[in-house]
């Protein structure tokens, strides 16, 4: 039996002829031609690279389905879109990321102990913070979040505290110190803010999540070291949905945990591995406006999308240097139409996914 198109399943003859049928390939060429045409000096055409990356992404999703069979009641979606490498800023060790309502990106540059504010196209607009332990200074930060009015919260990891800054970098508050008591932290790697301004901290070294008021007062502490529901092993990124449910990247347990708004364990998704709904040190998690959950599956070098109930919907990525390939995925943001920006950490760059209707 001959090969079939990964998009429409039409026969395409010999396997060597490609992953797409002639019709789908032509549509992809038209799409990419409208998007690209940029050529970097000394490198291959970005148009060609995007085409390869798009085909690889589709092939990966379909290949995973064939390999692991049915994993849920609803099928995984075939994703159609292009990945672009964002230029403008340079990084030494990019980690976490957040976005404001204008689409500007706030990227944690850990090695430089600062936050880079970028325009949506990746152009550097400003830097916030510098190395140190005074108010407004940072030491190897890892995560960043914004509140509804644009204030910036940073998981100041090596200082074991949370720094609150204005959008221009003016210090507004310093919460916590090293320790294991309420309001103390041990190398926090995650921070999120809900629509009421409450702050959630992935208190990594203490294997717990702390919830703080907008003024920094401890409201709740959830979790302890372990592998059971509601227990954590080095939790990293945290996210909050519109109903107040909390999602935690339970890093060393290779899973994502969902807690209710009052911290009751609701679900645990994933286990160690390389298949669909399996993870290899998941570091970051975000929730979109539909309630879908996106996981930065860091050492599988990919992004996984899950439904609100944990059903796998899509997979993007794989190890490499082309658009749509990654070397250690870290922070990510998702917009209202399904666009994604990902920190491609060991490639020292950001990548943007632009979904396209077929």
pLDDT in tens for each of the 358 residues of the chain?
455 554 455 565 544 334 556 555 544 443 444 344 333 323 333 433 443 344 344 434 444 433 333 334 455 655 679 999 998 778 888 999 999 999 999 999 999 999 999 999 999 999 999 999 999 999 999 999 999 999 999 999 999 999 999 999 999 999 999 999 999 999 999 999 999 999 999 999 999 999 999 999 999 999 999 999 999 999 999 999 999 999 999 999 999 999 999 999 999 999 999 999 999 999 999 999 999 999 999 999 999 999 999 999 999 999 999 999 999 999 999 998 889 999 999 999 999 999 986 5
According to the model, what pLDDT value does residue 89 have?
A: 77
| pTM metric for this prediction | 0.81
Domain positions in the chain: 1-31, 81-355
Tokens 């439904």 appear where? 307
Class of domain 81-355: mainly beta
Structure tokens belonging to residue 110: 């850990």
Q: Check if the beta carbon of residue 191 is closer than 8 Å to that of residue 199.
A: yes
Distance of CA 58 to the CA centre of its chain: 20
Helix, strand and coil percent figures for the chain, each rounded to 5: 15, 40, 45
Those residues whose C-beta lies under 8 Å from the C-beta of residue 13, and which sit 6 or more positions away, are: 2, 3
């Amino acid at each position: 039996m001959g090969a079939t198109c990964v998009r429409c399943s039409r026969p395409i003859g010999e396997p060597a002829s490609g992953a797409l049928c002639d019709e789908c390939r032509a549509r992809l060429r038209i799409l990419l031609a409208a998007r690209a045409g940029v050529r970097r000096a000394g490198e291959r055409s970005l148009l060609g690279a995007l085409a390869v990356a798009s085909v690889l992404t589709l092939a990966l999703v379909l290949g995973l389905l064939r390999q692991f069979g049915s994993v849920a009641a609803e099928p995984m979606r075939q994703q159609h879109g292009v990945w672009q490498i964002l230029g403008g800023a340079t990084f030494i060790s990019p980690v976490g990321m957040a976005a404001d309502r204008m689409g500007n990106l706030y990227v944690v540059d850990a090695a430089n102990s600062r936050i880079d504010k970028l325009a949506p196209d990746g152009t550097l607009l400003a830097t916030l913070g510098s190395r140190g332990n005074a108010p407004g200074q940072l030491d190897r930060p890892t995560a960043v979040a914004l509140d509804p009015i644009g204030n910036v919260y940073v998981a100041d990891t090596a200082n074991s505290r949370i720094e609150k800054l204005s959008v221009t970098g003016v210090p507004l508050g310093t919460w916590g110190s090293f320790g294991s008591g309420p309001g103390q932290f041990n190398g926090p790697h995650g921070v999120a803010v809900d629509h009421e301004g409450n702050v959630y901290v992935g208190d990594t070294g203490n294997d717990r999540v702390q919830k703080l008021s907008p003024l920094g007062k401890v409201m709740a502490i959830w979790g302890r070291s372990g592998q059971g529901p509601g227990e954590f092993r080095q939790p990293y990124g945290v996210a909050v949905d519109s109903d107040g449910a909390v999602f935690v990247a339970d890093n060393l347990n290779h899973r994502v945990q969902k807690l209710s708004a009052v911290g009751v364990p609701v679900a645990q998704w994933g286990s160690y591995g390389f298949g669909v709904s399996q993870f290899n040190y998941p570091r970051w998690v975000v929730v979109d406006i539909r309630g879908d959950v996106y996981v930065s599956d860091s050492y599988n070098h990919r992004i996984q999308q899950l439904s609100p109930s944990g059903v796998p919907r899509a997979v993007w990525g794989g190890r490499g240097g082309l658009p749509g390939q990654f070397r250690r995925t870290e922070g990510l943001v998702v917009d209202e139409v399904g666009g994604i920006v990902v920190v491609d950490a060991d490639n020292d760059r950001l990548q943007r996914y632009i979904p396209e209707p077929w």
